[in-house]
């Protein structure tokens, strides 16, 4: 049995689902992977809690479900303590968690608080598993270098299409391949909207549906204007294609200008209109990166990727064309992808 002590930053939908998951899968994790997970610290926007004997996942969950902060945890709560302060304190108290689980809210302007939390985590000698794209989109190369210098490990398979193993396929399965092209539908909200519009809904009604499902952001521009897809493309370009990339390297155009008419006409012509992330290998070995609405022939695998589905196509030199698609929704698969990374780090 390996005991893995973790510190959690972010206890929203994903963090909460992670707590549910490790409770529900406790027996399976022990028998199948020899893994016991102990949550020694947790921080949210209201404060933190930490304890040398571990926090009870069920009690943390109950606090969140009643609208309270982890800081209200009996005997261990630290009202107003930030995640950074928590990390310093648990270090001083020798709690020594091995891994940080970061699922705090995405911020794409400055990446905080996730970015500083991650820098501190690596400097303190912990590994990290991320569900939060922000720090990677803004500072991928810095974080990759820092983790190398500190001899620590970063995992972030949840950040691009959650349970769809976009990165694992690219890095662990397409081994020794030259990737000629990578194409993907990475944002389920925009794909849902396009599918609903092609079936006759107005843009506004389709967006409202997505928001009612709780999947679209209240400010939907991140999705609609293609930035969410582009952010995921940035992470894949860095991690799978090996090309140092920031958001400025991606040509981005969203679906705001698409009309129902466009979608119906495209379908009448036996094709589909989709918001596609594309990495195309150029003659010099670099990749041209773009996100834009594309007309795809009906037999294209992404043309058959509808509604909430997300998908990725890799075109390679020695392993043919590999396509993978996921049909899932909600925070549970994202939390499951974090658990996958944790097992990859400590149970191989």
> Judged by CB under 8 A, does residue 343 bind a second copy?
yes
Nearest distance from C-beta of residue 327 to a second copy, angstroms: 4
The crossing angle, in degrees rounded to 10, of helices 188-198 and 260-268 is: 70
On the question of a cis peptide bond just before residue 113, with omega within 30 degrees of 0, the verdict is yes
> Please, what is the minimum distance in Å from the beta carbon of residue 99 to a second copy?
15
The residues, any chain, with a CB within 8 Å of residue 238's CB and separated by 6 or more, are 136, 140, 141, 144, 244, 245
The smaller minimum CB distance to a second copy, of residues 144 and 177, is found at 177
CB nearer to a second copy: pick between 280 and 319: 319
Structure tokens at 255: 């679906």
Q: Which of these segments, 1-9, 83-91, 102-110, 299-307, binds a second copy (CB under 8 A)?
A: 299-307
Is the CB of 291 or the CB of 310 nearer to a second copy?
310
- Minimum CB–partner distance for residue 150 and a second copy (Å): 20
Q: Which lies closer to a second copy via its Cβ, residue 135 or residue 165?
A: 165
Query: Least Å distance between CB 301 and a second copy?
Result: 7
Q: Out of 42, 165, 292, 345, which residue is the one contacting a second copy (CB under 8 A)?
A: 165
Which one, of 120, 111, 302, lies nearest residue 195 by Cα?
302
**DSSP annotation string for 218-257:** SSTHHHHTTHHHHHHHHHHHHHTS-----GGGEEE--STT
Closest to a second copy by CB, 21 vs 115, is 21
Q: Is 176 in the site for a second copy (CB under 8 A)?
A: yes
Q: Is residue 318 at the binding interface for a second copy, with CB under 8 A as the rule?
A: yes
Q: Cα–Cα distance between 146 and 136 in angstroms, integer?
A: 12
Query: Is the sign of the CA dihedral 244, 246, 247, 252 positive or negative?
Result: negative
304 lies in the binding site for a second copy (CB under 8 A): yes
Question: Closer CB to a second copy, residue 78 or residue 103?
Answer: 103
Q: How far is CA 39 from CA 59, 65, 94, 292, in A?
A: 12, 18, 15, 41
Alpha-carbon Rg for the chain, nearest whole angstrom, is 21
| Cβ 8 vs Cβ 43: under 8 Å | yes
> What's the Cα-to-Cα distance from 15 to each of 21, 24, 172, rounded to whole Å?
10, 14, 27
User: Which is closer to a second copy, CB of 69 or CB of 195?
Assistant: 195
Cα 342 to its chain centre, rounded Å, is: 14
Looking at 8, 83, 106, 164, which residue binds a second copy (CB under 8 A)?
A: 164
Q: In the set 2, 3, 28, 52, which binds a second copy (CB under 8 A)?
A: 28
Spatial contact of 86 and 7, defined as CB atoms under 8 Å apart = yes
Q: Which of 64, 133, 232, 274 is catalytic?
A: 232
Q: Is residue 329 involved in binding a second copy (CB under 8 A)?
A: yes
Non-local (6+) Cβ contacts of 92 within 8 A are none
232 binds a second copy (CB under 8 A): no
| Distance, CA of 287 to CA of 94 (rounded, Å) | 45
Minimum distance of a second copy from residue 160's CB (angstroms) = 13
Q: What are φ and ψ of residue 208, in 5° steps?
A: -60, -45
Q: Answer yes or no whether residue 21 interacts with a second copy by CB under 8 A.
A: yes
- Please say if 232 is a catalytic residue: yes
Among 43-51, 52-60, 212-220, 335-343, the segment contacting a second copy (CB under 8 A): 335-343
Q: Does 33 contact a second copy by CB under 8 A?
A: yes
What is the rounded distance in angstroms from the CA atom of residue 157 to the CA atom of residue 168? 7
Binds a second copy by CB under 8 A, chosen from 177, 247, 271, 345: 177
Positions marked active-site: 232
Give me the residues that bind a second copy (CB under 8 A), please: 21, 25, 28-29, 32-33, 163-165, 168-169, 172-173, 175-177, 299, 301, 304, 306, 318-329, 332-333, 336-337, 339-340, 343-344, 348
């Amino acid at each position: 049995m390996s005991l893995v002590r973790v510190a959690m930053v972010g206890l929203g939908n994903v963090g909460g689902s992670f707590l549910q998951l490790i409770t529900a899968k406790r027996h399976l994790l022990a028998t199948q992977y020899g893994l016991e997970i102990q949550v020694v610290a947790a921080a949210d926007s209201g404060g933190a809690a930490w304890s040398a004997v571990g926090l009870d996942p069920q009690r943390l969950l109950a606090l969140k479900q009643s609208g309270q902060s982890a800081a209200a945890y009996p005997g261990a709560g630290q009202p107003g303590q930030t995640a950074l302060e928590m990390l310093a304190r648990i270090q001083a108290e020798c709690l020594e968690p091995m891994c940080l689980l970061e699922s705090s809210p995405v911020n794409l302007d400055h990446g905080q608080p996730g970015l500083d939390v991650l820098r501190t985590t690596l400097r303190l000698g912990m590994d990290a598993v991320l569900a939060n794209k922000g720090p990677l989109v803004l500072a991928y190369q810095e974080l990759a270098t820092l983790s190398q210098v500190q001899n620590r490990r970063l995992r972030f398979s949840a950040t691009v299409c959650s349970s769809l193993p976009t990165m694992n396929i690219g890095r662990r399965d397409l081994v020794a391949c030259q990737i000629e092209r990578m194409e993907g539908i990475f944002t389920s909200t925009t794909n849902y909207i396009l599918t609903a519009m092609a079936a006759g809904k107005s843009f506004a009604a389709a967006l409202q549906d997505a928001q009612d499902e709780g999947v679209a952001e209240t400010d939907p521009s991140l999705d609609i204007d293609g930035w969410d897809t582009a952010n995921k493309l940035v992470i894949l370009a860095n991690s799978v294609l090996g090309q140092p990339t920031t958001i400025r390297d991606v040509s981005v155009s969203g679906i705001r200008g698409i009309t129902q008419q466009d979608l119906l006409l495209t379908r009448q012509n036996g094709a589909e209109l989709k918001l596609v992330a594309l990495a195309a290998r150029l003659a010099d070995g670099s990749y041209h990166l773009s996100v834009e609405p594309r007309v795809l022939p009906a037999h294209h695998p992404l043309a058959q990727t509808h509604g909430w589905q997300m998908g990725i196509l890799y075109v390679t030199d020695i392993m043919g064309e590999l396509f993978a698609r996921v049909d899932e929704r909600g925070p549970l698969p994202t939390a499951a992808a974090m658990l996958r990374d944790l097992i990859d780090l400590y149970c191989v």
